[in-house]
């Protein structure tokens, strides 16, 4: 019995790794998340069983216990199951929890990492998470913890010089703004990228003191990646650079 945990990447189906594509091509059963691009399932054989088990917008398609039950059931029945998760399964993807569950039941496990939205989505918006003279490190934080509150790490990161990347944080944007404003960083640059790597990608850039208004005007929603720090101002210069991404849906507002 075997479980293969595959990272699907940030959204664009062409950003799946070759190893991930091979795993899907040989799969008998695929359990996939809601944010996984449907075109990825075209890699599967016709007789492959495909089951959506992910969540979107906070509404669960399957609870984790049910996903675990399906992993065990199909590992026993088919001998092997592919678990396809968005981004990289070890970055806020609960991938390790599923590996731990399977291992305890004697199921062999393999991990195929995916391109993480934490750095790929900013890159596709023209934002390097590190850059000489701007940022020497980056801090990746979940915007919403398992208790459905803003992570306390945001307040710690706000006091650092690192680029701060916040996932699942759009609904917590007022609290994030309050955190930065409370320590006098209301003029810090911030960008929010929605639907990163997809044709529908759009970016809004501003400062902590005006991002709430700009995000509302732009109708920014989830899923989105929030980038805070000096590098977040770089989309202003996107027109000067020959970058291999489309800026047609990018709007920078000050």
Would the pLDDT of 3 be above 70? Answer: yes
Over range 111-126, report the average pLDDT.
97
The residue extents of the domains of the chain are 2-112, 117-252
Question: Which class in CATH covers the domain with range 2-112?
Answer: alpha beta
**pLDDT grade for 56, boundaries at 50, 70 and 90:** low
**pLDDT grade for 237, boundaries at 50, 70 and 90:** low
Task: Decide yes or no: CATH 3.40.50.410 for domain 117-252.
Answer: no
Would the pLDDT of 195 be above 60? Answer: yes
Would the pLDDT of 242 be above 50? Answer: no
**pLDDT grade for 213, boundaries at 50, 70 and 90:** very high
Q: Which residues are catalytic?
A: 33, 55, 168
**pLDDT grade for 235, boundaries at 50, 70 and 90:** confident
pLDDT tens-place string over residues 135-187: 999 999 999 998 999 999 999 999 999 999 999 999 999 999 999 999 999 99
- pLDDT value at position 230? 97
Would the pLDDT of 55 be above 70? Answer: no
- pLDDT value at position 245? 47
State pTM to two decimals.
Answer: 0.90
| The residue to which tokens 């006098």 are assigned | 184
């Amino acid at each position: 019995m075997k479980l293969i945990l595959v990272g699907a990447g940030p959204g664009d189906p062409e950003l799946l790794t070759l190893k991930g594509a091979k795993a899907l091509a040989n799969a008998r059963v695929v359990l996939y998340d809601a944010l996984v691009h449907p075109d990825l399932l075209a890699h599967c054989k016709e007789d492959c069983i495909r089951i959506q088990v992910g969540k979107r917008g906070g509404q669960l398609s399957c609870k984790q216990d049910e996903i675990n039950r399906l992993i065990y059931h199909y590992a026993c029945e088919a001998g092997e199951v592919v678990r396809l998760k968005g981004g990289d399964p070890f970055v806020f993807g609960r991938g390790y929890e599923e590996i731990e569950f399977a291992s305890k039941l004697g199921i062999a496990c393999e991990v195929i990492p995916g391109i993480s939205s934490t750095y790929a989505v900013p890159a596709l918006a023209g934002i390097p998470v590190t850059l000489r003279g701007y940022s020497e490190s980056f801090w990746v934080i979940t915007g919403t913890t398992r208790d459905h509150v803003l992570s306390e790490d945001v307040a710690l990161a706000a006091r650092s010089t690192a680029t701060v990347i916040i996932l699942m944080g759009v609904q917590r944007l007022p609290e994030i703004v309050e955190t930065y404003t409370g320590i006098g960083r209301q003029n810090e640059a911030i960008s929010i990228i929605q639907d990163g790597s997809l044709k529908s990608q759009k970016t809004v850039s501003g400062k902590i003191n005006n991002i709430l208004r700009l995000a509302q005007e732009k109708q920014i929603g989830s899923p989105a990646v929030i980038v805070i720090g000096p590098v977040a101002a770089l989309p202003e210069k996107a027109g000067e650079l020959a970058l291999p991404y489309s800026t047609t849906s990018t709007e920078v507002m000050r």
